[in-house]
Structure 1
Amino acid sequence: MSPDRSPETAVDPIISVRDLTKSYGRGENSVQAVDDISFDINSGTVVGILGQNGAGKTSTIKMMLGLVTPTSGEIQIAGSDVLAETHEVYQDVGAMLEGARNTYWRLTVRENLDFFASLNGIDPKNVRSHHEALIERYGLKEKANVPIRDLSRGMKQKVSLICTLARQTGVVFLDEPTLGLDVETSLDLQQEIRHLAEEESMTILLSSHNMDMVEAVCDRIIILHEGHVIADNRIENLVEVFQTQMYQITVEPPVSEPLKDRLGKRYSTKSWCKIGGKVQFEVLPSSGDDFYNFVNELQQEDIELVSIRSLEPDLENIFLEMTNKTSLTENQNGGQQ
């Protein structure tokens, strides 16, 4: 991660979300998907929006794109109200959504690029070299005149991406952009995202289960859990909070299922597996004392320790730890945030 990325501030944000709420249904059957969230995003930054299924992430993104009407709250993008000035907003925003048909499958790759550029009033003839560069960069040159429906899943994903970029908007939403991409293309995409933010001042909102990519490209992450923002910070700051709290434990078998469940609830254990006749798992103690209590509990259960290895924290560990802690607090408080 580049050390010179400036932290987010609320000075002239290109995206402003205020008191955003979304409920589905009415009365006793209503579901509160998003509960009074607010945040600002500055121009030229890459922000990851993360959340487990049911966290409110999809509803939040769709409201920001004007695809779902909020129950209450306001969203502004590039100075325009998303609900009242939708046409103006769409001139500044591009989006690539997971599982959606982001392209026209009967059109060829080149025809799709021309069409999506024209949506923003761009004459395709004036940006032909730019389109050819996008086609070349993503390895689609030999398929440029092939209808999208005849392409592989990975190629369809690439076309969706370059059609989003062809509109040349200042803000881009990318939902699972690496889905179906090979490793090399995924790495190229990471470089492209950083280039667009740093050299072209593009603002990119990224939603992905690929935590390695999120950690590599994002300046900041917003974590949603059950409709609330539970974290909004630069990634390096979050990593510092969890420094040296992750351990890989190897023990001699057997380890009973009741003991696994008990350790999981008390110490956030995960990734249980058998390797070379040994039992291996990871543990996320909340403090040094908690770790010593964990070791003592293993000894009391006559579990023989083979090795303990400290692991470097990563975004996936942080994400799981924060959501697990929030869920535990809510259960202890009777479901209240």
Structure 2
Amino acid sequence: MIEVKDLSKSYLSKKNRVDVLKNVSFCINQGEVVGLLGSNGAGKTTLIKSLCGLIEPDAGQVTIRNLAVNHQDKRALKYISSVLEGNRNLYWRLTVKENIEYFLGNRGISRKSISIEMNNFLKKFSLLEKKNELVKNLSRGMQQKVAIIIALMSQTEVLLLDEPTLGLDVEANNEIRNFLKEIVKTEKKTILISSHDMNLIERLCDRVIIINKGEVVTDDSVENLLRLFQAISYQFIVDRPLKEEQNEKLRQRYPTMRSGFIEGNHTLEFTILEKKDFYQIVEMLKGFHVFIESIDKHQINFEQVFLTLVKGERQYATI
């Protein structure tokens, strides 16, 4: 449904050229729900706007249903609807009803044909009583619901969501999460969600693409990434540094091992998935006649794995 091939985009600043996207490539199949993760400035919004045809890349190509997205040919855009940065898709001085009618009218969809569907959507997502309310008077969560409803009613096969939970309080965040979960369940669309909200991505997506400094650093299923999150990291404080051949033997079996010197202590760090590995490490250290002074354990969580990947330290991905 979506193919991005060698996409690059840069901008000139006062001092130099900034590469926002660097040869980004990926595909999204019909019906897939894919998360796009990255830190501020990673290139997520530029990528989303390139998919929408709002930004023309310097190199590479975006195709939707085998149609190229470019400024000369708009045919591909009939398959796409988008919500950019939460609630920026709306006219705040229009009512909810007027916003829906206006934006769908731009796509050639008449007021009369959407009347029943609009009421059904507004009722389903607890907005029917706000139908004639000015958008500027709604909460941010309600505004973002209206923007997403407009995208859904546009009758496109592809839905692009850029930061749908941006700036929301805890209650509104949970409301939008449940809202999107219902959409994923019932609408059967191809969806790309760009977000900082890793819990949202985990709940909704089949697959995750993580970009950092304009490059794809990982593209994998949520299931595989969750397997990484189940890893446990152990820090051993030992009485002396290992010999080089001892370090090499450990690294051959445990590629994620790191050795260091922290606060006057010699340390060895391992990230493992199997409990049996812990005992094997202890036995190997015993065989090296190294005394273990202490062991510290901590769980690898979603945040840690994400930060590790965007920093380019891919050792966790080798587990």
What's the TM-score bracket when you normalise by the shorter of the two chains? 0.7 to 0.9
Of the candidates 180, 185, 188, which is equivalent to residue 195 of structure 1?
185
Aligned-partner Cα distance in 1 for 2:17–2:203: 38
Q: What is the identity percentage for the equivalent residue pairs of Structure 1 and Structure 2?
A: 39
Greater shift, 119-128 or 51-60, is seen at: 119-128
Deviation, 1:154, is 2.1
Query: Is structure 2 residue 4 aligned with structure 1 residue 17?
Result: yes
Stretches of structure 2 lacking an aligned partner (at least 5 in a row): 236-257, 260-268, 283-290
Aligned-partner Cα distance in 1 for 2:111–2:270: 56
Query: Is structure 2 residue 122 aligned with structure 1 residue 135?
Result: yes
Query: Is structure 2 residue 70 aligned with structure 1 residue 80?
Result: no
Query: Is structure 2 residue 169 aligned with structure 1 residue 182?
Result: no
Q: Give the equivalent residue in structure 1 for 2:26.
A: 39
In our comparison, the structure showing a higher alpha carbon Rg is 2
Aligned in 2, Cα 1:156/1:86: closer, same or farther, shift over 3 Å? Answer: farther
Please tell me whether the aligned partners of residues 21 and 73 of structure 1 are also in contact (alpha carbons under 8 angstroms).
Answer: yes
Deviation, 1:114, is 1.6
Aligned-partner Cα distance in 1 for 2:99–2:234: 49
Q: Superposition pairs for residues 75-224 of structure 1, below 5 Å?
A: 75-84=62-71, 86-98=73-85, 101-179=88-166, 180=168, 182-196=172-186, 200-224=187-211
Query: Is structure 2 residue 229 aligned with structure 1 residue 239?
Result: no
Aligned-partner Cα distance in 1 for 2:308–2:13: 33
Aligned-partner Cα distance in 2 for 1:195–1:120: 25
With structure 2 as the length reference, what TM-score do the two structures score? 0.74
Aligned in 2, Cα 1:326/1:166: closer, same or farther, shift over 3 Å? Answer: same
Please tell me whether the aligned partners of residues 86 and 162 of structure 2 are also in contact (alpha carbons under 8 angstroms).
Answer: no
Aligned-partner Cα distance in 2 for 1:83–1:244: 43
Stretches of structure 1 lacking an aligned partner (at least 5 in a row): 1-13, 249-265, 268-283, 293-299, 329-337
Aligned in 2, Cα 1:144/1:28: closer, same or farther, shift over 3 Å? Answer: closer
Aligned in 2, Cα 1:326/1:65: closer, same or farther, shift over 3 Å? Answer: farther
Please tell me whether the aligned partners of residues 239 and 314 of structure 1 are also in contact (alpha carbons under 8 angstroms).
Answer: no
Of the candidates 217, 220, 223, which is equivalent to residue 230 of structure 1?
217
- The number of residue pairs the alignment matches comes to 274
User: What whole-Å deviation, never above 9, does each CA across 1:179-236 have from its counterpart, x for those lacking one?
Assistant: 326255234223223224xxx4311110111111100110111110112111011111
Greater shift, 58-67 or 315-324, is seen at: 315-324
Please tell me whether the aligned partners of residues 120 and 167 of structure 1 are also in contact (alpha carbons under 8 angstroms).
Answer: yes
Please tell me whether the aligned partners of residues 116 and 164 of structure 1 are also in contact (alpha carbons under 8 angstroms).
Answer: no
Structure 1 outlier segments of 4+, above 6 Å: none
